[in-house]
Each structure stands twice: as structure tokens, then as C-alpha cells.
Amino acid sequence: VTTQKPEVVFILGGPGAGKGTLCRYIVKHYDYVHLSAGDLLREERAKLCSEYGELIETHIRNGTIVPVEITCSLIDRAMQTSKNPHHRFLIDGFPRNQDNLDGWNKVMAEKVILKGVIFCECSEEVCTQRCLNRGASGSGRSDDNEQSLVLRHQTYLKNTLPIIEMYEQQGLVYKVNSMKSPEEVFQDVAEFFPKIGW
Ligand code: UP5
Ligand code: MG
């Protein structure tokens, strides 16, 4: 019924760990909507009328994190305009730091049910190589270069890992080794996903 709160699963992990790829597999098999915070920010940046375009681009290029008010309102809007009648969302690449977490807790946490956090574990070397390969094959992403990747990984270690650890203490984290092939990563997730999602 319409009063039912949306269910949310966060997907976290380093830059290039395979969050987006895993989400694309999950939505093929389960009734979830994939919302990538990074994709939402890149879409917002691309709008000519956006007042945040330059700010977003600076953060993306430097691997730093956009203020939560911007990101959270994009996620909120995307959830509200989604046509999924079951209201289940994979939120990919968020929350990435304490500011993100505080902002989410303030405006969103009460409106949803957080079912769990999938943590894609992947070495820095593999993450970086994946993004460099993607850049070399024409991703067009302004952060798929060596300089940005060093910064992205630093931000991940310093700001995002503590958020994952906090969720881990709450018993919400499901880890997956995302250094395997995409199919294998999905198979591993499929083992525990029904425990999270239903
Ligand atoms: N690939 C994927 N899985 C593979 C596998 N199992 N085996 C072999 N190859 C695999 O994959 C990356 C590449 O690796 C692809 O070429 C893929 O084919 C291959 P992808 O699935 O895209 O990995 P993902 O973890 O999603 O990598 P992404 O680059 O999107 O991660 P980031 O977390 O760095 O990027 P995001 O878009 O989330 O954020 C970008 C920036 O936006 C941030 O640095 C930040 O500046 C900003 N941002 C915020 O400020 N706030 C937010 O809330 C979110 C983002
Ligand atoms: Mg991604």
C-alpha cells in the first residue's frame, strides 16, 4: 500500500570496485531500482540550468565529496519520481562521508527502511586499473585519470571506510569480494541478497 516506506540497500566500495556493474546485475534478477549517486551528480552537472554544475565538476575531478544537500535532494527526487511500485532502491556510492551520513539521517532516514549495505571489497590496484582502462576506452569521465584516481582512493580510505565500519557495527554490512568476474560477484551476492531484500 502507498503508506509503505521504501526499502533501501546501500552499495559501497572503492572507486572502480564494481558497484555500478553489480547493481546492473541485481536489477536484472530482483525488483529493485538502481540509483547511482555519482550518475545523478553527473546528470545534474550536465544541465545547462544547474547552478551546481561547476561545483560538482570540481569535486568529481578532485575526488572530493559534494555537499550532502545537493546529493540527497537528487536521490530524494529520483526516489519520488521512480515508477517502481515496490519501492525498493539500490543506492550506489552513497553515503561516502560523515556529512553525507548526517544529511541522510536528517532528511531521509525516517522516510525509508535501510535493509543493508553491500560492501564491494577490491584492492586499490585493481580498482585503479579498471578505471584507467575505462578511461582509455573512452568513458568520458573526467575522473578516470591517474591524478584523480589517487585522490578518489584517498577520499575513500579516509572518509568512506569509516562509514562502512559504522554500518558494520550495526550488523548491516554484507561483504563481497568484487575482484572476481562480474558474474561470480553477482552469484556471491545472490547467496545473501534474499536475506537483505525480503
Ligand atoms: N568492472 C566492474 N566490475 C568488474 C569485475 N567484477 N571484473 C572486471 N571488471 C569489472 O566498474 C568500473 C570499471 O570496472 C568498469 O569499466 C567495469 O566494466 C569494470 P563500475 O561498475 O563502474 O564500478 P564503480 O564502483 O561503480 O566505479 P565508479 O567509478 O563509478 O566509482 P566511484 O565510487 O569512484 O564513482 P561515483 O560515480 O560513485 O562517484 C564519482 C564522484 O562523484 C566521487 O568521487 C565524488 O566526487 C562524487 N560523488 C559525491 O560527491 N557524492 C556521492 O554521493 C557520490 C559521488
Ligand atoms: Mg559507479
Largest CA distance in the chain: 49
Residue range 22-81, pLDDT digits in tens? 999 999 999 999 999 999 999 999 998 999 999 999 999 999 999 999 999 999 999 999
Q: What is the ipTM of this complex?
A: 0.99
Distance CA 102, CA 11 (A): 18
pLDDT at 48: 87
Closest ligand to residue 178's CA: 1
Residue range 124-168, pLDDT digits in tens? 999 999 999 999 999 999 999 999 999 999 999 999 999 999 999
Pocket probe for ligand 1: among 104, 130, 159, the residue whose CB has the most ligand atoms within 8 Å is 130
| The dihedral sign for the CA sequence 145, 41, 179, 185 | negative
Distance CA 195, CA 169 (A): 18
Q: Report whether 119 contacts 174 (CB < 8 A).
A: yes
Find the 156 Cα to ligand 1 centroid distance in Å.
12
Phi, psi of 139 (to 5 degrees): -65, -25
Distance CA 89, CA 23 (A): 10
State the DSSP string of 42-71. HHHHH-TT-TTHHHHHHHHHHT----HHHH
Find the 16 Cα to ligand 2 centroid distance in Å.
7
Residue range 84-104, pLDDT digits in tens? 777 899 999 999 999 999 999
pLDDT at 198: 60
Q: Is ligand 1 within 6 A of the CB of residue 123?
A: no
Distance CA 143, CA 147 (A): 8
Find the 110 Cα to ligand 1 centroid distance in Å.
27
Q: How many helices (H) and strands (E) does the chain have?
A: 9, 5
Does the pLDDT of residue 2 top 60, yes or no? no
- What secondary structure letter does DSSP report for 14? S
